[in-house]
Structure 1
Amino acid sequence: MNTVASFSIIVPVFNEEDNLPVLFAEIHKAVSGLGKTWEVLFVDDGSTDRSLDVIKRLAAEHPEARYVSFCCNCGQSAAFGAGFRYAKGDVVITIDADLQNDPADIPAMLREYERGFDMVIGWRARRQDTFTKRIASKIANAIRNRLSHETVKDTGCSLKVMRTELARRLPMFTGMHRFLPTLMKMEGASVSEMKVNHRPRLHGTSKYGTFSRAKTAFFDLLAIRWMQRRHVCVDVREHN
């Protein structure tokens, strides 16, 4: 069994100014009654709209809101990596800024984590995306699982709960966010999946192309396969 005393919700942000106040309000409503210490850590990924101004206002108005910012766009993996590094909670929760992930799922995912898992990942059983995007995701998941010997239903869902100390051990590289469950398992993590809500995008546009990153993702997958074969996980304990 795990006991969660504190958690950090990491939100990568790139041009999501209209969604951020709504997202923070939904997070506050979902987690403020859990009796745990929590924070929202926004990671501004070089936004060119007013996202950073909105984040600064939220941080000024709410003690639970913090932020770090990049001077240029570095990508979602870099944003997650920065979030893992600067998070204060003993558990980190990742969530998209586009409001398609539902913060109301967080309490149930924390309860699942407290059953003894090191990571809980969301599974969007009823995705609210275009047909093309859903098909592309299914193909990518199938290829990814086949080559990495995985069984994850939906590794593309950003809503995840992780033990912070394990998340900080993960190798940082562009595309890392697509393989978080596999990378966590390489560190000895136990992983659980659970169904989560998925909502249509109301404001802004998707920042990631459906097929444009397929070639890069494939080479990332080959790198992950190499890491699985060569990885050494050592649990060192000091004895006096």
Structure 2
Amino acid sequence: MSGFNDDMCPALSEQWSRRINSSQPETMHAPFSQDPPVRKDAQEDASPPALSIIIPTFNEVDNIRPLVGRLHETLVGIEWEVIFVDDDSADHTIDIIRRISLQDRRVRGIRRVNRRGLAGACLEGILSSSAPIVAVMDADLQHDETCLPKMFRMISTTSADLVVATRYSEPPQHVDGFTRLRQAGSILATGIAQRLLPTPTSDPMSGFFMVKRGIVEAAAPRLSLHGFKILLDILTSSPCPPTIAEVDYDFRPRLHGESKLDAMIVMEYLGLIVAKLTGDLITPRFLMFCVVGSIGLAVHLTVLRLLLLDELSFPVAQTFAMMSAVLSNYTLNNALTYRDRRRRGWRYLTGLAVFSLLCSFGVFAGVGLSTLIYDQEPYWWLDGIGGAVIGAVWNYVTSSAITWRAR
């Protein structure tokens, strides 16, 4: 078996399968000798896996071999497989996964092209598995893989539907892998989730857990493909609350690569909280679009006021103000709201041209209506907001459907 899915057309996929299944020796060359040793009994045993370990990756090339080796050492006696879901890493993480999969049937890989996000990667990996139990963990070696057998026994022999590996047990575990600032932020985020949402676990922000696959299958239609806190999403989206158990573990320091935590992840977390509090009526993407729109509104009103003070006519000032807001909104939406579909290089420029062209219709409508209102009631700020709202509605529709359409 090939062990991975590369989003290829059937013809290429068939060619690739023939290459992998070929017994010619040239497919197994020297660089593979550094991969983890593979036991013959593991290769010859055709039993289906009882456990699938889902590991999302993005630029984790140095961590793959050590992690697979650790899984072999700790999961003796358990039929398992590991599914790496790679978001088209620039460091060619998927190539290392492919090399190992040629020697080890337990290793599978999925390469996602033009799709980004830890939650979406985890969900895609889980839904590609046929094992009745799945675990989710990071590729950065910070999660303690020796907890997996205990978690597997708990979920196999007790009534637990989901086992969370918690960093905040009683007494609290020392979190070696966190800086003081990050640990404070994690505790704050955990406290917010516990107070606002019905999450009966000490660590709803954990990225290390094991769950019966049926639980995720049932919640899948409601799960967000964006963000980094899929456990929290599962807990709040499941039709029937799962029975939860916990195991303690010590969060390790990262050995290779860089942390993916940034300000955008914080915003996506807040968006997830709002989405769950509103019953998913307000999505994280829509919330971010509104934040960007608010910034665009500030740009719009600032430019409008300055041009009016410079004694330009209202129609001219309003036109320049709306076009300034269009440029601001495009730049920020490309960087933040649609960063999983971000346009780069020439596509950035063509996207700006398309976005500006489509938004020009909103500009014409906004200028016309706001000018009409201004002639009746000359309140510059109210008329400016009216024009901006009209433009914003049009911009949102065209942004999602055309400029940043899913490919």
* Residue type of the alignment partner of 1:87: S
Q: Normalising to structure 2: TM-score of the pair?
A: 0.52
Q: Which residue of 1 aligns with 2:161?
A: 118
The residue that corresponds to 2:92 in the other structure is 50
What is the match of residue 205 of structure 2? 156
The structural deviation recorded for 1:80 is 0.7
Of 136, 142, 146, which aligns to 2:185?
136
| Partner SS state of residue 29, structure 1 | helix
For residue 219 of structure 1, report the CA deviation from its aligned partner: 2.3
Q: What is the match of residue 356 of structure 2?
A: none
Classify the secondary structure of the residue corresponding to 2:182. helix
Cα distance between partner residues in 2 of 1:72 and 1:217: 22
Work out whether residues 14 and 47 of structure 1, in 8 Å CA contact, stay in contact via their aligned partners in 2: yes
Aligned to 1:188: 241
In the alignment, what sits opposite 1:213?
265
Match of 1:30 in 2: 74
Aligned length: 223
Give 1:80's aligned residue: 122
| CA apart distance, 1:197 | 2.7
Name the Cα RMSD after superposition.
Answer: 2.1
| 1:105–1:197 Cα contact (<8 Å) kept | no
Cα deviation code 1:83-125 (max 9, x no counterpart): 1110121100001000000111101111221212000011123
SS in 1 for 2:279: helix
On the 8 A contact 1:11/1:95 being kept in 2, the answer is yes
Unaligned runs of 5+ in 1: 230-240
Deviations for 1:180-220, whole angstroms, at most 9, x for unmatched residues? 452365433111122023211010110122x4433332221
The normalised TM-score by structure 1 is: 0.86
> Given residue 163 of structure 2, which amino acid in structure 1 is its aligned partner?
V
Which has the larger share of strand?
1
- Which gives a bigger RCO, structure 1 or 2 (Cα 8 Å, sep 6+)? 1
Contact 1:47 1:73 in 2 (8 A): no
Q: Secondary structure at the match of 2:123?
A: helix
Contact kept? 1:91, 1:161, Cα under 8 Å? yes
1:132-153 superposed Cα distances (whole Å, 9 cap, x missing partner): 1000000011111111133422
The answer as to whether partners of 1:166 and 1:184 remain within 8 angstroms in 2 is no
Paired position in structure 2 for 1:70: 112
Please report how far the alpha carbon of residue 59 of structure 1 lies from its aligned counterpart in structure 2 after TM superposition. Answer: 0.8
Equivalent residues of 1:90, 1:165 under 8 A apart:
yes
- Residue aligning to 1:233: none
